[in-house]
Structure 1
Amino acid sequence: MEKRSFFERLTGSVRVENADAPNRASPAPKEHVLPHDEEGQLTIDVWQTPDEIILQAIVGGVKLDDLDVQVTHDMVTIRGKRERQHEVSANNYFYQELYWGAFSRSILLPQEVDADEAEATMKNGLLTIRFPKLDKARVAKLKVKNE
């Protein structure tokens, strides 16, 4: 098996060459599947507002039951799997760039967040997670009770 490029490993895409193209002596494309211990990496955008950190990822084709999001005060891990609806012979592909199978992504958040108040939604294949920022400068005043 030919070594995959950095881009192919990063995105999970597979290079498929057209066997009918002129001046090509390569064999018909083989079906490429990541080994069971290797997962595709989810691409994300992360930005902030004054009150929260927002993460977005494209997860089109992933069922909600196949998506797992875990949050701590400084890290988020997203895992899932995207399954094919039907199998296609490798010889019938012109382009094969979509990633099918398990994927995951863990990132350290740039600031501590309130994991209990984080919210995740998915609309039209776009996963959006909103993390309320913890305000370390906020001071809570406690009233002392007499017993």
Structure 2
Amino acid sequence: MPKDHRSFFERLTGSVNAVEDDEEEIVREPMITTEKTKSAAKAGDWMNEEEEGQLAVDVFQTPSEIIIQAVVAGTKPDELDVSITQDMVTLRGRRQKQREILGEDYYYQELYWGAFSRSILLPQEVDSDSAEATLKNGILSIKLPKLDKNRVQKVKVKNE
């Protein structure tokens, strides 16, 4: 009787591991490298391109404001770009490493260094002209006054 090499869950569900089946069909051929393939590999080497990290944020409201907070420790105020429209906020910046450390010298490497950004769709329109952004103890806080849709602006008509 042939031995079944599938896992317990594969036997239970009747599924087949597609990777194992495909591995048997792969034929290995030597790759011929030319200058054209070398330059194409360099042009498409996406692993060496710096990725932009996504900034984690808290977004909450008070009766009169929408507030966005983000941890941007290690970033100076002049290294931050905050763009505000009536319905969206975009944050951009860059965290610089203080010194270079070899990969083999790390026990843990969890901090993100480099460019980061985040675009946040706002739950309601805000007054972008009255927005305020402050940086304190590595926390960026953006206060966005809500637009009062029920407010009626009276305009006095002038006689010319």
Structure-1-length-normalised TM-score: 0.74
For residues 74 and 117 of structure 2, the distance between their equivalents in structure 1, rounded to whole angstroms, comes to 15
Q: How many residues align?
A: 114
Structure 2 residue aligned with 1:62: 75
For residues 36 and 117 of structure 1, the distance between their equivalents in structure 2, rounded to whole angstroms, comes to 37
Structure 1 residue aligned with 2:11: none
Give 1:45's aligned amino acid.
D
**Aligned-residue offset at 1:63:** 1.6
More helix by share: 2
RMSD: 1.2
3-state SS in 1 of match to 2:129:
helix
For residues 40 and 114 of structure 1, the distance between their equivalents in structure 2, rounded to whole angstroms, comes to 28
For residues 76 and 156 of structure 2, the distance between their equivalents in structure 1, rounded to whole angstroms, comes to 48
3-state SS in 2 of match to 1:65:
helix
For residues 36 and 90 of structure 1, the distance between their equivalents in structure 2, rounded to whole angstroms, comes to 18
Give 1:123's aligned amino acid.
K
Which residue, 121, 130, 136 being the options, matches 1:123?
Answer: 136
Counting aligned pairs with the same residue, the percent is 67
Structure 1 residue aligned with 2:101: 88
Residue 88 and residue 44 in structure 1: after superposition, are their counterparts in 2 closer, same or farther (change >3 A)? same
3-state SS in 2 of match to 1:97:
coil
- How big is each residue's C-alpha offset from its partner over 1:74-111, in whole Å with a ceiling of 9 and x where there is no partner? 00000000000100010110000000000000011010
For residues 97 and 121 of structure 1, the distance between their equivalents in structure 2, rounded to whole angstroms, comes to 26
**Aligned-residue offset at 1:146:** 1.9
Unaligned runs of 5+ in 1: 1-33
In terms of Rg, which structure is larger?
A: 2
For residues 102 and 47 of structure 1, the distance between their equivalents in structure 2, rounded to whole angstroms, comes to 25
Structure 2 residue aligned with 1:142: 155
Residue 57 and residue 106 in structure 1: after superposition, are their counterparts in 2 closer, same or farther (change >3 A)? same
Unaligned runs of 5+ in 2: 1-46
